[in-house]
Structure 1
């Protein structure tokens, strides 16, 4: 049974269970069963108070996001009815919160009179991160508990708070060490049937300022619809009373539920959890966690990876043959941790512990004892060969040997060893201690157990691990190549760098393609293009980025790339680059034309979609959602659009194919050969790469 009840010396105890995170799932019947239970116990003559609790490590993570593609009445109706019933009870209710109460879980707790929580509990209403607002009374009940100013901040930012902070603001009545359910029963016995009034007017101190700040932040965000709706619901309750505010909240939630941003955010929320479920690994036993890591190479990437590993509480040895390089790495580690301490992100003790977990060595033999060795040396196959031959001799049997490569052939790297089953690719994104994505590259001979343990390691260091097969560029960089190709061709035809970047940033990209290359380093792309010119002479690039590199303009690190960079690091438009672009069009014999922002977006994004479909056909990615997660977590694709493949589904494959055909008839149309998968899906009458019927 999802809900069990009992009476303990006059206290009605209600316990629900929906493991592992106890979502208040209407499909599972949780709110419906809870409502029946509270009505029955409220009417029982021997009961003086009720305790609401759950089994497991968390009180409730909220609603079941997987249900949110249904209609609002089905999703939200049962929990709204439960909360309204709790409002009308004759007897007080105490909620026992362990682990956390989030979203609908906190809304349920807010509908009760008192809340006790364990010290490790976190509480919050994070619905805005899914493009929604609280939909079961949270915008009205939270202000009544903690005042409008604090409630506005929590609701419009989706921030969660600790149990201690929740108690300080009045959201939690007590923080309990030990058995919180037993403590709640004891507490309930002291109430003598006293209820806490639910008609308490919210405190309005600082409300005007908090609401103004929330509106300003919503105007800057993309999208800001959810935050603006939350402000509207809260203001309605302030002005017209609780019931009117509740009606406004329900109406706004129902509207947002079917909005495109909410659909995209839900998709990506679920996708980031689904990528960890790797096809073919389901029958394996849970892999042993990685206990110690060794890193070969102390450059920018190696140092960043070391910080990421240490932040996760694991010991790591950074190995480099050059003492000067090790000294630079040690200094970078110390300064990075010191900044985190200064900014309050780490305590002094935690910073010292983190720094203490990183050891430096010039002896390659110090890889012994590590469960995982990550090579992070220069992106050159000859250098990789030297390192992996040494690792084959020195690393313990069964140690995972990982190459942090962004483009090179992991199968060729594995062939440098006598144990290809233990070799895998780990493509970190820079800065590695901050970026969330980790492409885990499975080789042709990588053992399933090695892949499973590498994916477990990604979770250990708080990365979103996505499995990729072996190809030039894997998932992300292979697609990025086609994205950039179109950006460069757009320059040749009539656009200027600032227009291309502005159009893509207005679409929602964290940074336009040309600004991205200035940040990454134009010389990196130049090196790749030189190699590709030999390997793929039939797929030429524009000469524009090479011309910029020949001027010694490698981006932010040299103070100039497509843009000029001063002390603040903000790129300024350079007329000299505009002139270079125009001159290259002239050399090519092209008459420059006006190009709309819509065309820029379609060409850049549909180039991603087309190459993504090829990646699926080539079995490099398992599912469209893997591609979406790579691009959202690693390349700044707008989260509220769900990722390029989901975005194509929402636009509609017929529209995507129509535009690809139009581009194929235009300038450099050879780059628009339609991916077979797109044609196959469209020919079956399906509207989506995920298999949804048209």
Structure 2
């Protein structure tokens, strides 16, 4: 696994453990032995660690997580590198991630190629660096910059790594040759063993503490964020060796923390969602050079901004000039706000605006390679648009709808080319939210599906493939929660108590505050179109209480306020509705509120799996984590249900069904079957990786 070549006084140790040189026990042992041999060899004056293939080291072997440790441990190997009596230089041509970067940090210099990417992504796995990264990186680039790099988890490209001081040289040519020269230079100067500070510079503490406090405020329930702050802080308070021990202790604790396990589950679930059953990786893609978006409203404008950000020219199409002007003005205002915040340069703003055009009439979509319809959520409106697009769009163009719940197959049937029709359900605001449900219709061609998935990634989105049903995955489950929330109100709970229980569960907002923010009229229109009923919400809408935009919804909003206040009128309305229906009101504990809201969602998720609307439990959890702000440290609704035990969930659902008379609350067949077997959703085909 480690090849050794000695020439000109330099031992080049090449890691050869394809495909990503993961630092499993065998590779660690091979590297440790090669280092010892090179150190003993009097003909060797310096050492270079290089790697075979496009990846330097992609990190630790995650397959070893949760298993008995096998020596030599990575921290021990890295300590010997750092203490080497001969200079050791890392030659990094590709990705050096996680343990791979920690390996490079233990070396005495790092030479990178143009394709190098350096990062510590452990935070995304619910972990922190566990082999010295939290101590060596702050000493190299400064505590605040190091904390930001580890907290974000995103790798740096070679030029930025050089500018930050993470790399010592950037070599566009022969990387190993450049590393050999660097290693010999260090040997000749006798200065490779840089004097490492025992403690971090106290003058840098204030900046770090401010960044740590903000991170903890944003993620108060994420154990890895707290552990990362503790580990870096130890570098200020303790000598290097003791700070390393703090880091290792925090790392090992996270391996067993249920919240960290949930974060690891979410990471692997997201990666697995990219694999679509029945869709070959070799499926051809259709070229997407120009786009059109039908509708200049909030959603249409946000989708147009996504295309512009990806460098794809897009035409926003409306039926009338005033609506188009309002939409384009809204886009310009959003860009101006981003520029004012400093998150967008004036040059980037001008470039993106230059890619967005406006037009009147569906005929102007004729040159687009993809047309995304983002019009009013009404079947007659959408089928009318698609019938026209069938006539005006060029042959081979992809016709996509942004519908959030309507029947994609019925929309496709309005055309003579249903194979070209796909659903791209963006989440609002489309220019911010990462998730896209990619809806595969009965006739959607494989190359259209493959192109839709690739396009979503090109737009910086996370695509999850779903099938056709009312509401697809996310909104279908959300409808169950909404119905349960209405039932809670009628039975005795009040909006503020329900919202508080859900915030304590980990959501940023409760369902009633969220409904006020989105606008109660949106759901009202949907219910009127589909025959649905929500007694309390419907009564509020009948009074013109549409939420924040009208200053009144489930809560009241004093002039300019974004946080709602309890409203005695609403509470009286709820109590009157309960009395009218003859329902005796009672109090609910927070735990019961959570179960009443979340278990019906889990039940619907089981039905979705059994119907094949979603391929895996992890796909459902990925949708809820990225589209509905489900708390990441709980791993998604189905993973969370597994942690409770499906037998307990099924028993409570049966009790809810009996008490309410609502047969839809009875355990779904799949859920009942898993519960009877003592199994969980994890027993189904799902994301690979450790629990």
Q: Does 1:643 align with 2:643?
A: no
Native 8 Å contact 1:292 1:372 kept in 2: yes
Q: What residue is the counterpart of 1:538 in the other structure?
A: none
Q: What residue is the counterpart of 2:99 in the other structure?
A: 104
Which among 45, 48, 51 is matched to residue 48 of structure 1? 45
Which among 599, 608, 614 is matched to residue 606 of structure 1? 599
Q: Following TM superposition, by how much is the alpha carbon of 1:683 offset from its aligned partner in structure 2, in angstroms?
A: 2.8
Matches within 5 A, 1:199-210: 199-201=196-198, 202-207=200-205, 210=208
Matches within 5 A, 1:144-183: 144-155=139-150, 158=153, 163=158, 166-183=161-178
Q: Following TM superposition, by how much is the alpha carbon of 1:7 offset from its aligned partner in structure 2, in angstroms?
A: 2.9
Cα distance in 2 for partners of 1:678, 1:227 equals 34
Which among 648, 653, 665 is matched to residue 655 of structure 1? 648
Q: What residue is the counterpart of 1:374 in the other structure?
A: 372
Cα distance in 1 for partners of 2:185, 2:387 equals 71
Q: What residue is the counterpart of 2:538 in the other structure?
A: 546
* Structure 1 vs Structure 2 CA RMSD: 2.6
Cα distance in 2 for partners of 1:495, 1:271 equals 35
Query: 329-338 or 423-432: which moved more?
Result: 329-338
Q: What residue is the counterpart of 2:345 in the other structure?
A: 347
Native 8 Å contact 1:491 1:581 kept in 2: yes
Query: 314-323 or 672-681: which moved more?
Result: 314-323
Q: Deviations over 1:318-358 (max 9, x none)?
A: 12221112212221222222222222222222221111111
Q: Secondary structure at the match of 2:336?
A: helix
Q: Following TM superposition, by how much is the alpha carbon of 1:11 offset from its aligned partner in structure 2, in angstroms?
A: 2.2
Cα distance in 1 for partners of 2:106, 2:302 equals 45
Q: 1:273 to 1:420 in 2, by over 3 A?
A: same
Q: Secondary structure at the match of 2:202?
A: coil
Cα distance in 2 for partners of 1:37, 1:275 equals 40
Native 8 Å contact 1:492 1:581 kept in 2: yes
Q: Does 1:92 align with 2:87?
A: yes
Cα distance in 1 for partners of 2:136, 2:281 equals 45
Which among 383, 402, 412 is matched to residue 385 of structure 1? 383
Native 8 Å contact 1:24 1:31 kept in 2: no
Cα distance in 2 for partners of 1:295, 1:516 equals 27
Q: Secondary structure at the match of 1:666?
A: helix
Query: 522-531 or 210-219: which moved more?
Result: 210-219
Q: 1:517 to 1:182 in 2, by over 3 A?
A: farther
Q: Deviations over 1:474-517 (max 9, x none)?
A: 11111000011111111111111111111111111232111221
Q: Secondary structure at the match of 1:115?
A: strand
Runs (5+) with no aligned partner, structure 1: 535-540
Q: 1:386 to 1:215 in 2, by over 3 A?
A: closer
Query: 620-629 or 570-579: which moved more?
Result: 570-579
TM-score, normalised on structure 2? 0.92
Q: What residue is the counterpart of 2:459 in the other structure?
A: 461
Q: Does 1:494 align with 2:492?
A: yes
Q: Following TM superposition, by how much is the alpha carbon of 1:440 offset from its aligned partner in structure 2, in angstroms?
A: 0.7
Query: 213-222 or 549-558: which moved more?
Result: 213-222
Matches within 5 A, 1:163-562: 163=158, 166-192=161-187, 194=190, 195-197=192-194, 199-201=196-198, 202-207=200-205, 210-211=208-209, 214-215=212-213, 217-218=215-216, 221-282=219-280, 284-533=282-531, 541-562=533-554
Q: Deviations over 1:259-290 (max 9, x none)?
A: 11111111111111111110001363353452
Cα distance in 2 for partners of 1:420, 1:167 equals 51
Q: 1:523 to 1:216 in 2, by over 3 A?
A: closer
Native 8 Å contact 2:502 2:509 kept in 1: yes
Q: Deviations over 1:539-578 (max 9, x none)?
A: xx54101011111111122222112233142222222212
Cα distance in 2 for partners of 1:17, 1:339 equals 49
Q: Following TM superposition, by how much is the alpha carbon of 1:82 offset from its aligned partner in structure 2, in angstroms?
A: 2.3
Q: Secondary structure at the match of 2:465?
A: strand
Q: 1:234 to 1:377 in 2, by over 3 A?
A: closer
Cα distance in 2 for partners of 1:571, 1:203 equals 45
Q: Secondary structure at the match of 1:374?
A: strand
Cα distance in 1 for partners of 2:130, 2:299 equals 43
Cα distance in 2 for partners of 1:118, 1:510 equals 42
Query: 348-357 or 463-472: which moved more?
Result: 348-357
Q: 1:98 to 1:345 in 2, by over 3 A?
A: farther
Q: 1:128 to 1:321 in 2, by over 3 A?
A: same
Cα distance in 2 for partners of 1:578, 1:304 equals 36
Q: What residue is the counterpart of 1:590 in the other structure?
A: 583
Native 8 Å contact 1:459 1:465 kept in 2: yes
Q: 1:324 to 1:57 in 2, by over 3 A?
A: farther
Q: Following TM superposition, by how much is the alpha carbon of 1:234 offset from its aligned partner in structure 2, in angstroms?
A: 3.7
Cα distance in 2 for partners of 1:121, 1:274 equals 25
TM-score, normalised on structure 1? 0.92
Native 8 Å contact 2:144 2:211 kept in 1: no
Q: Does 1:622 align with 2:615?
A: yes
Q: What residue is the counterpart of 1:30 in the other structure?
A: 27
Q: 1:510 to 1:10 in 2, by over 3 A?
A: same
Q: Size of the alignment, in residue pairs? A: 683
Q: Deviations over 1:628-658 (max 9, x none)?
A: 1111110111111111111111221122112
Native 8 Å contact 2:647 2:676 kept in 1: no
Q: Does 1:6 align with 2:5?
A: yes
Cα distance in 2 for partners of 1:491, 1:59 equals 57
Native 8 Å contact 1:152 1:211 kept in 2: no
Q: 1:216 to 1:288 in 2, by over 3 A?
A: closer
Query: 194-203 or 599-608: which moved more?
Result: 194-203
Native 8 Å contact 2:283 2:450 kept in 1: no
Q: 1:602 to 1:451 in 2, by over 3 A?
A: same
Runs (5+) with no aligned partner, structure 2: none
Q: Secondary structure at the match of 2:512?
A: helix
Cα distance in 1 for partners of 2:338, 2:286 equals 31
Q: Deviations over 1:108-134 (max 9, x none)?
A: 111111123356655443433433221
Q: Secondary structure at the match of 1:573?
A: coil
